[in-house]
Chain A
Amino acid sequence: MDATTPKRSTNGHGDPKAAREAARKAGGAGPDDASADGGLLGLPGRVLGGLAKAISTRIPPADLDERDPDYIRESLPRLWLLSSIYFRGEVRGLGNIPEEGAVLMVGNHSGGNLTPDTTVFTLAFTTYFGVERVFHQLAHNLVLSMPGLAFLRKYGTVAASPQNARKALRSGAAVLVYPGGDYEVHRPSWERHRVDFGGRKGFIRLAIEENVPLVPVVAVGGQETALFLSRGEGLAKLLGLDRMLRLKVLPISIAIPWGINVGDMLGHIPLPAKIVVEALPPIDVREEFGETPDLDEVYDHIVRLMQETLDALASERRLPLFG
């Protein structure tokens, strides 16, 4: 490569340094401009700004080749122990997922920064279809940047972005996305039986553009693994976390071992709640909603479908945690 040619990262985001420079020239606020955007004040601002810079440089590139089938296979017993013994997981409807080819699975997300529904579903998907079937999960950049979680990349986890999802789908992989992301995963415990994507519709656009079936995946139980009190959206906005870290929330929960847990950055020990996951029949968006589907209509349909399933799964539960 020519020394003068700008370097490009392989994660679909382009060169982060160049992007920051472009944003600065355009007068916008890049990740390093936290203190200038009015969201942060004084020492906390400088500390969080430094943290943001440290984390943004730690964001791993989304290389689909990092998925390691042998590693996944060897770790299946560990996942099985966690899923079967600790969470008494139960996954239904895997036969609804197309046997081969690219598919976009859309899930509701629960459990704070440690999401047991993903663990239970990943094990079930992998044992059902075999480690040979390529399966990628999209996760927040922060999750992939956390120390000790690098192994997630071997499972096929990549940073959540439309580019990465598109790249994975074009490679013929099954892709699991959680549109609700950090917003949904930290909802208060009394909203645990609610599908809340926060109006994010990018997944529908993706399914239409890539012409892949969309499979809703509904999980219950994850939000019982701690007592989630608040998303802390106001606090996150005040501290400018949205601009710096793409975080719309600064959750507050009561969790083991911290007691009061603000941010959940270090994770927590999840309570052993019973997790039940159900995959629904695939939706061909173009076939069901026409050649130029109305995103709002599709979104409402999918959320309604998932909410009805979640209500049904919730009605089977007699007690929190025990299921």
Chain B
Amino acid sequence: MRVYERITIGAPAGAVWEHISDPGRYLHFMSGVTRWEVCGSQRHGLGARYKMLLRVGSAEVGGLIEIVENVEPSDLAWVSVTGVDQRGRWRLRAVADATQVELRLAYGVAGAGLSGWVAERLAAPTVRGHLRRSLQQLKRQVEQEQLREAAAARRAARAQTG
């Protein structure tokens, strides 16, 4: 099953990238995520591994994931190593003065048959809701940071001219 959500964030792609490439921030903006921990010594980039869990229904599903694509500041993709099969992708594209952010997640359990098919579809609204809220929270955080940085720059400029 593949679900995705999109949002436009009023900030350059680099600012969004800073958030999505930092594993320490995931618990602050990812809805439903109960765990996002670095496994091993590599925190970022291609080959970095994380233990992640997402609450869906009565279970926290996920497992060990690995970053398989890291093209700054446009694409960040991962696949599952253990746990439920999943592929995820952040897709960042510049539009005018903003960035269009798309979060995709494909998930399932190979070999699960009919029950897998049914479960994937019944879980989809919950997963889609998590993605939507995650993007909204990401937008709020990134844009607030942009406002804070802009205000700090204005204060610094005023201090210089004064």
Chain B residues positioned under 8 Å from A132 (CB to CB): 82
Given A75-B112, A130-B82, A130-B83, decide whether A84 and B59 contact each other with a Cβ distance below 8 A. yes
Asked whether A80 lies within 8 Å of B111 as measured between CB atoms, the reply is no
Given A74-B111, A77-B116, decide whether A84 and B57 contact each other with a Cβ distance below 8 A. yes
| Interchain CA distance A131-B57 in the complex, whole Å | 18
Asked whether B118 lies within 8 Å of A83 as measured between CB atoms, the reply is no
| Interchain CA distance A87-B123 in the complex, whole Å | 15
Interface centre among B63, B111, B115 (most CB of A within 10 A): B115
Chain A residues positioned under 8 Å from B84 (CB to CB): 76, 127
Question: Which of the candidate stretches A88-96, A140-148, A191-199, A301-309 sits at the interface with the other chain?
Answer: A88-96
User: Which parts of B70-125 form the interface with A (CB within 8 Å)?
Assistant: 82-84, 109-113, 115-116, 118-120, 122-123
Flag whether B20 is at the interface (Cβ < 8 A). no
Q: Which residue from A70, A78, A89, A131 sits with its C-beta under 8 Å from B58?
A: A89
Given A85-B122, A130-B82, A130-B83, decide whether A77 and B115 contact each other with a Cβ distance below 8 A. yes
Asked whether A94 lies within 8 Å of B60 as measured between CB atoms, the reply is yes
Q: Which residue from B59, B110, B115 sits with its C-beta under 8 Å from A83?
A: B59
Q: Chain A's interface: helix, strand, loop or mixed, by majority?
A: helix
Flag whether A280 is at the interface (Cβ < 8 A). no
Q: Chain B's interface: helix, strand, loop or mixed, by majority?
A: mixed
Which residue on A lies nearest to B53, using beta carbons? A128
Which residue on B lies nearest to A276, using beta carbons? B58
Q: Which residue from B56, B57, B112, B118 sits with its C-beta under 8 Å from A74?
A: B112
Given A74-B112, A75-B112, decide whether A80 and B58 contact each other with a Cβ distance below 8 A. yes
0/1 interface trace, chain A 112-139, chain B, CB 8 Å (1 if under)? 0000000010011001101110000000
Asked whether A128 lies within 8 Å of B60 as measured between CB atoms, the reply is yes
- Size band of the A side of the interface? 20 to 34
Asked whether B109 lies within 8 Å of A74 as measured between CB atoms, the reply is yes
Chain A residues positioned under 8 Å from B112 (CB to CB): 74-78
| Interchain CA distance A70-B62 in the complex, whole Å | 16
Flag whether B61 is at the interface (Cβ < 8 A). yes
Residues of B in contact, count (CB < 8 Å): 25
User: Which parts of A31-75 form the interface with B (CB within 8 Å)?
Assistant: 70, 73-75
Asked whether A80 lies within 8 Å of B57 as measured between CB atoms, the reply is yes
Given A76-B84, A76-B112, A130-B83, decide whether A120 and B58 contact each other with a Cβ distance below 8 A. yes
Asked whether A81 lies within 8 Å of B119 as measured between CB atoms, the reply is yes
Asked whether A83 lies within 8 Å of B58 as measured between CB atoms, the reply is yes
Interface centre among B56, B58, B63, B113 (most CB of A within 10 A): B58
Chain B residues positioned under 8 Å from A84 (CB to CB): 56-59
A123 to chain B, nearest CB (A): 5
| Interchain CA distance A77-B60 in the complex, whole Å | 13
A219 to chain B, nearest CB (A): 12
Asked whether B63 lies within 8 Å of A130 as measured between CB atoms, the reply is yes
Q: Which residue from B53, B60, B109, B122 sits with its C-beta under 8 Å from A76?
A: B109
Asked whether B109 lies within 8 Å of A127 as measured between CB atoms, the reply is no
| Interchain CA distance A128-B61 in the complex, whole Å | 7
| Interchain CA distance A89-B64 in the complex, whole Å | 24
Which residue on A lies nearest to B123, using beta carbons? A80
Q: Which residue from A73, A91, A124, A128 sits with its C-beta under 8 Å from B109?
A: A73
Chain B residues positioned under 8 Å from A85 (CB to CB): 57, 122
A135 to chain B, nearest CB (A): 14
Given A81-B115, A128-B53, decide whether A87 and B58 contact each other with a Cβ distance below 8 A. yes
Chain B residues positioned under 8 Å from A124 (CB to CB): 58-60
Which residue on B lies nearest to A86, using beta carbons? B58
B122 to chain A, nearest CB (A): 7
Chain A residues positioned under 8 Å from B59 (CB to CB): 80, 83-84, 91, 123-124, 127-128
Question: Can you name 10 A-B residue pairings with CB atoms under 8 Å?
Answer: A74-B109, A74-B112, A78-B115, A80-B58, A81-B122, A89-B57, A130-B64, A130-B83, A131-B82, A132-B82
Task: Spell out B's residues near A (CB within 8 Å).
Answer: 53, 56-64, 82-84, 109-113, 115-116, 118-120, 122-123
